[in-house]
């Protein structure tokens, strides 16, 4: 992950192999927050 710019790791507690189904609300919140966050690369484009 150190080589991937803006990468993040999220651990979903008490979850097996399918976080999108087992912890749907938490998964969606994490994804939406990540997708809507301003990043350095987005700011460089402007």
pLDDT (tens digit per residue) in 1-46? 678 888 889 999 988 889 999 999 999 999 999 999 876 655 555 5
The pLDDT assigned to 40 comes to 61
Buried b vs exposed e over 12-23: b needs ≥16 C-beta within 10 Å?
A: eeeeeeeeeeeb
4: Cβ contacts below 8 Å, ≥ 6 apart = none
pTM for the predicted model, two decimal places: 0.66
């Amino acid at each position: 992950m150190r080589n991937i710019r803006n990468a993040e790791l999220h651990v979903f507690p008490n979850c097996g192999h399918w976080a999108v189904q087992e912890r749907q609300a938490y998964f969606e919140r994490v994804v939406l927050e990540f997708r809507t966050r301003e990043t350095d690369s987005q700011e460089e484009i402007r």
